[in-house]
Amino acid sequence: MKTAQISGAQLVLLLFLCRSFNMLTADMHNVTGHYGMEQLLAIPLSLLLQALIALPAFLLMKKSNRGMTESALWTAGKTGVIFPMISCVYLVTVTGITIFNLASFLANAIYPGSSALFFAIALTAAAMFAVYLGLEGLSRAAVIVFFFFLISLFLTTVGVSERIQLLNIRPLEQDSLSVIIEGAWKIFARSSTVYLFVLLVPYVKEKKGKSFIWYLIAVGIMMEVVSFLVTAVLGELGVTEAYPFFMLTTIAQISIFQRMDALHVSIWVMVCFLRVTLFLWVMSRQLHAVLPVRMRENGRERWILPFLSILSVILAAIMLGNRKTADFMLNSISTGIADLVLMAVLPSAFLLVGALRGLFEHQKKEESL
């Protein structure tokens, strides 16, 4: 498996695209019950929240001069294994939900009557192959897809601009503050890519802090644009639509381009492919780091990726076959507890353990020597 490092800009583009996947499904997008000012104000607040919650993880990595998994093992010894284990369970779940979302969208809106499982398996198989090509190749692909994404977003915006009605943006109400705070939390809970940023920091060559700020700004702008369009064009209709942004693309018309939805779907498939690949790559790296040396020597590590991929597909298949399970999975991942534990609680605990054991001072002395 190739492990070449990438630049901060490449990471920002890659994670921006991965985050954009959530904007296209209502389950991951609508966080305030109704689209309107509350949704638009919840976005900047959630960005602040994400930055604050990720702070302990960044601090731990800076103090230990290691990645998250390595820091956990370094500070807490064998107990630190708990971190990559919880992390992998979380990432597998998110990967399964991503595969489920794409497969159910294709079977519902594009290829009615087709097997959703077929799409899930095909996507995962392609992602597995891409994982072997490494992070650098994935980042390069993301740059190309990013430009397609921008073109699609721009054309869609222009195509629906005539239908924008500012009256559709619901005004703030008396209990809006609590709705905004709740919405900001929900956006944070659905932002697994912030956690991915934390995990990918060791693979970034330079300007890690700046990259994080740029990532938050880029995601914030994208979310505001998409939320504004959905709100101003669809109004209350957006609440009942399963794929509100897809609805926008079906009505967007620019000159001879009357099928923006077709362009949008193809880009969405590419974005989904990048997202699943990145998740599988990160999980593989994490499990690889905690695999016992003997197993590594026996060449067992090559089974990590197929194991994770199969697990993700099984999860997606269960969700595709049972609506209650799908709802349960989506609701439980949307609580934000997992993100909070992985980015704030555990890193804070490792910081404390490291400080008590004097590891950081020792590290500082070693570095100064």
Partner 1 sequence: MKRLLSIGLLIWVAFLFCGCDNHLIRLVNLQDRAIVQGVGIDWDGKQYIVTMQVFSPEGSGGQTMVDASKENARIITCYGQTVAEAVEKSALNQGKEFYLGHNRIVILGHKAAQRPLEGLLSYFVNSMDSRPDVSLLMTSGKAADIISANISQSILPAMSIENTVSNAERNGLTEEVFLFDVLEALAQPYRSTLIPFIEEETEGKEDEKDLRSIKIQGLGLFANEKYLGEIQGEEVTGLLFLRNKMNDAFFSLKTEDFARAAVQLYSSNTALNLDGSTLTANITCEATLLELELYDNAVFDNDALLELEKELEQKIREDCIWAFEKTVQMRADVYYIGDRIWKENSDWWEELKKTWPVGMEKLSLECQVDVDVLRTGLQRTQTY
Q: How far is the CB of 357 from partner 1 (least distance, A)?
A: 48
- CB of 258 or CB of 332, closer to partner 1: 258
Is the CB of residue 172 less than 8 Å from the CB of residue 37? Answer: yes
Q: What is the contact surface with partner 1 in residues (CB under 8 A)?
A: 108-109, 111-115, 118, 122, 125, 165, 167-168, 171, 173, 234-237, 239-240, 247, 250-251, 253
CA nearest to 99, candidates 23, 15, 21? 21
How far apart CA 350 and CA 59 sit, in angstroms, is 11
Q: How far is CA 38 from CA 16, 95, 163, 180, 227, in A?
A: 23, 29, 21, 5, 11
Residue 75 or 176 having the CB closest to partner 1: 176
Give min distance, CB of 161 to partner 1, in A: 15
Cβ distance 127 to 270 under 8 Å? no
**What string of H, E and C letters represents the secondary structure of 56-115?**
HHHHHHHHHCCCHHHHHHHHHHHHHHHHHHHHHHHHHHHHHHHHHHHHHHHHHHHCCCCC
- Which of 129/147 has CB closer to partner 1? 129
What is the CB neighbour count within 10 angstroms for residue 203? 19
Residue 4 or 237 having the CB closest to partner 1: 237
Give the other-Cβ count within 10 Å of 285's Cβ: 21
14 vs 230, which CB is nearer to partner 1?
230
Place of tokens 């695209």: 17
User: With respect to partner 1, which residue has the nearer C-beta, 3 or 108?
Assistant: 108
**At its nearest, how many Å lie between partner 1 and the CB of residue 250?**
6
Closest contact distance (angstroms) between CB of 112 and partner 1 is: 4
Do 20 and 271 form a contact (C-beta atoms < 8 A)?
A: yes
Give the shortest CB-278-to-partner 1 separation in angstroms.
22
Length, in residues, of the chain: 369
C-beta of 287: minimal distance to partner 1 in Å? 25
Residue position matching structure tokens 């994208």: 222
Nearer to partner 1, 167 or 293 (CB): 167
Q: Considering the complex, what minimum distance in angstroms separates the CB of residue 276 from partner 1?
A: 17
- Both tokens assigned to 230: 């959905």
Q: Specify the amino acid at residue 26.
A: A
Count Cα atoms within 13 angstroms, Cβ side, for 299: 0
Minimum Å gap between C-beta 39 and partner 1 is 16
The residue (of 184 and 276) whose beta carbon lies closer to partner 1 is 276
- CA-CA distances (angstroms) from residue 287 to 190, 281, 295, 360? 23, 10, 12, 25
Q: Smaller CB distance to partner 1: residue 33 or 77?
A: 33
DSSP-derived letter for residue 202 is G
| Least gap, CB of 158 to partner 1 (angstroms) | 16
Return the amino acid letter for 182.
Answer: E
